[in-house]
Structure 1
Amino acid sequence: MLKNASARRKKWASILAFASIPLSGFVTDIYLPSFPTMARELQVPESSIQLTLTCYLLSYGVSQLFVGSILDSLGRYKAKLWSLFFVIISSILITCTDSILLICILRILQGLAISFLVVATRALFVDIFKAEEVKGYLSYFTIVWSCGPIIAPFLGGYLEELFSWHYNFYFLSFYALILLLFELKIGGESLAEKKKINLPEIMNLYCEMLGKKVFIQGIIIQGISYSLVMIFNITGPFLIEDIFKFNSVAIGYCTLILGFSWMIGGIIGKKRMHLPYVKSIMLPSILQLILISILLVLGITYQNLYLLIFFAFFIHICSGVLFTSFFTTSMLHFPKNAGIAGGLMGGLVYVITSITSFIISYSGKVNSQNALSWRYFIFSGLLFIVILWMYQSVKKEVTSK
């Protein structure tokens, strides 16, 4: 039992947990540079390839809505082992088929497996550490998670250029296998007291959590912040290859740069958490809108990949700041039901992201820099409106007290 384990074992369990976190980013992003190639080789439209990502995100999000309660009742350890096993199998099967329908089904299975893995890993820190320590660990969670989006597309671009898009999924199976072997060696159960599945109680908890306006507003802000990043992930590969005429390696480098921007945003968000709401939240949102507006104006007369990546870098930093700020505070609202709260939060964030991804995929072909920039502007404007709404809610709570 990790709860009563030695400090040394807890340390190794934490290291393993942090090593597991980037896998979700790898499963999401490693094949992004291969989107154009997959569309050609599988002889399907761009939107069909983008749909494989939407299927994964939707499955990942919806499953987290009930994964938390299952993990709180059955435990974390076995769920993590089975999740890694299914990631290995599904990744290998994807390399063996040319059916886009089967790939979508396998991506749904991967979304389910990764949701169990992520929620169990996130809850582990709440299970074995004290509240103040948990806050520190969870603030690093998004920073470590961002290693996936940073490294994955960069690696994926080279794997596709040197071999084929299939090797992206071979890598996923290898990564999951290594984690599985280490879990069997040094992992363990972190949940001290298992709770029986009580549907009425779970529904009451969900109602309580959904009734907490600040909790829901934080989830919406996280969802839109991540959706801003997904705009480039979904449309960027086709824009870079078809319009700017670069290859998959260039796509990998672009997503590598923007992955770093998300990590930097997470670090900045962690450092600014002590600041008042206006400075820590409002300023990054306003700065993001200003940057996108400048990009739109410049794009009227001058369109260039380097210009786009330069502005996107700082736009994504702003999203990273906002996401990290609300991820950390939202997880601490319900410490006694960390699994359920984490699952509900993560689930709704990815449900929002999957819906916006679907809208982005089917909102028309992105065949210019400004077509992408306008999508940035719409989502950033929506994000600012929600932040203003939350500011009013927080202000009312302070006044009423």
Structure 2
Amino acid sequence: MSQSLTRADHKQSLMLLFIFIFAGLSAIGPLTIDMYLPAFPIMTLELETSTALIQLSLTACLLGLGIGQVIVGPLSDRMGRRKPLIFSLILYVIVSILCATVMSIAALVILRFIQGMAGAAGMVLSRASIRDLYDGVQMTKIFAMLALIMGIAPIVAPLMGGILLEFVSWQGIFIALAGLGILLLVLIITTLDETLPSEQRSTGGYKSTFQTLLSLFTDRSFMGYSLALGFSSGAMFAYISGSSFVFQDIYHVTPLTYGIIFALNAVGIMLTSSLTAKYTERFSEKTLLQFGLLCLIIGAALFFIVTLVDVGLIATIITLFLTISSVGFIFPTTQSLAMKSQSKNAGSASALMGLFQFGIGGLIAPLVGLGGSETAIPMAIIIFVISLLALFVHSASNR
């Protein structure tokens, strides 16, 4: 009896360690994207460049994250997860350190693209490894925990960067990212074995990879859930890119108050992600996803109305809270449902989902600023339209 309990405790401890590692790998992307945002003004001065070129380093990172996932996902289906992950983390650490030493914006843009590609491996291979190790309700619960991290990281990352800037220069942010890479690298080398057995690996070459990706593109169910994830992510990226102008330029809140509002939405994502993990045994994943999409649509519609009639700050905060919190229902369920039938192509499937998530988000985010910083209407329109698209692709794929 005691031996059984000991084995069960060991298995539980091991799963918690794996979840910690997968959470860290999932957080690399958002932290790499957002952590240096508070340093933009000082970087513009020190690198003697323009704001537009500094922002180009962000675009380069997003492109690297999207493209990197498409490359490393299929590669891991052939080679396994562990070797590509270790190589990518070593590259991530080296490039992060190089980012802290650059003297020109051109070098930074190139390095940020490579950093994004290296960081992409952590995101795609964490999802693929979870699919290798778990299934059913347990897989959904773990995806819900990762969704919590993925939801919070883009919101908390700028705050973390701002805190670091109180004590170090902007270069210290990239050193901190390198430190995260080293920590994960040590944990993976010492504790995480290969999750994809050799007999389950893809044996084909590039032609086989292309055929696999083509089969995923023609998989109605997979594409429906992946696009729903991508458009929902686009709504969140639109919020992240435009909210600072809405709250600070329109409602004239202080940076500290803005940070508190950001934290409030992080709490909302934590709550809904926890509810998803808790109720997956009581309700089906499809039901939880539909509820999340409904919350997203209602929140986006209310935010659009509030913006049109200019009700005020409190109403804006409440409606955006409802909108952003909904991703805690959407992210884990779309990932779990999309991955359920992809046991043989988990790496490729995870990569394609990552491309949609960051590709759509990266394309949507710059559109928010086209209307200037004097009105929140462009942001409200984009969030509402893209929320409708998320609902549409989900509904169309389930007909």
Q: TM-score, normalised by structure 1?
A: 0.83
Question: Does residue 1:207 correspond to 2:214, yes or no?
Answer: yes
- Aligned partners of 1:26, 1:129: CA distance in 2, in Å? 26
Write the distance in 1 (CA, Å) between the matches of 2:393 and 2:238: 24
Structure 2, gaps ≥5 residues long: 1-9
**Of 224, 230, 233, the match for 1:223:** 230
Deviations 1:194-230 (A, max 9, x none): 4334223222222221112232222222122112222
Question: 1:381 is matched with which residue: 382, 385, 389?
Answer: 385
Paired residue for 1:294? 305
Question: 1:128–1:190: 8 Å Cα contact kept in structure 2?
Answer: yes
Q: Residues 277 and 265 (structure 1 numbering): CA distance in 2 closer, same or farther, change over 3 Å? A: closer
Selected match of 1:17 from 8, 22, 29: 22
Give 2:342's aligned amino acid: F
Partner of 1:57: 62
> Which runs of structure 2 are paired with 1:67-106 in the superposition (5 Å)?
67-106=72-111
Residues 60 and 114, structure 1, Cα contact 8 Å, conserved in 2: yes
Structure-2-length-normalised TM-score: 0.84
Asked whether the equivalents of residues 307 and 380 of structure 2 are also in contact (C-alpha less than 8 Å), the reply is no
Is the aligned partner of 1:139 residue 2:147? no
Q: What letter matches 1:257 in structure 2?
A: L
CA drift of 1:251 comes to: 5.1
Q: State the 1:248 CA deviation.
A: 5.8
Q: Which amino acid aligns with 1:296?
A: T
Aligned equivalent of 1:266: 273
Taking every aligned residue pair, what percent have the same amino acid on both sides?
23
Matched, 1:346 2:340: no
Matched, 1:312 2:325: no
The answer to whether residue 187 in structure 2 is matched with residue 187 in structure 1 is no
8 Å CA contact 2:61, 2:116 repeated in 1? yes
Match of 1:109 in 2: 114
Distance 1:197 1:326, change over 3 A: same
TM-align CA RMSD: 3.0
CA-CA distance at 1:55 after TM superposition = 1.5
Given that residues 150 and 260 in structure 1 are in contact (C-alpha distance below 8 angstroms), is that contact kept between their aligned partners in structure 2? no
1:383/1:245 CA distance change after superposition, 3 Å: closer
Unaligned 5+ residue runs, structure 1? Answer: 1-5, 396-401
1:352–1:278 Cα change, 3 Å = closer
Structure 1 residue matching 2:166: 3-state secondary structure: helix
Tell me the CA shift for residue 265 of structure 1: 3.8
Corresponding residue of 1:255? 262
Taking a change above 3 Å as real, the CA distance of residues 87 and 281 of structure 1, as seen in their structure-2 partners, is same
Quick one: distance in 1 between partners of 2:76 and 2:180? 23
Report Cα offsets for 1:364-390 as digits up to 9, x if no partner. 53x22x33x422322322321441353
Q: How does 1:133-172 map to 2 (within 5 A)?
A: 133-172=138-177
Provide the residue aligned with 1:30 in structure 2: 35
For the structure 1 residues 140 and 374, does the alpha-carbon distance in structure 2 shift closer, same or farther, using more than 3 Å as the test? Answer: same
Aligned to 1:398: none
Alignment check: 8 A CA contact 1:36 1:238 kept: no
Which of 292, 295, 313 is equivalent to 1:284? Answer: 295
More deviation in 36-45 or 204-213?
Answer: 36-45
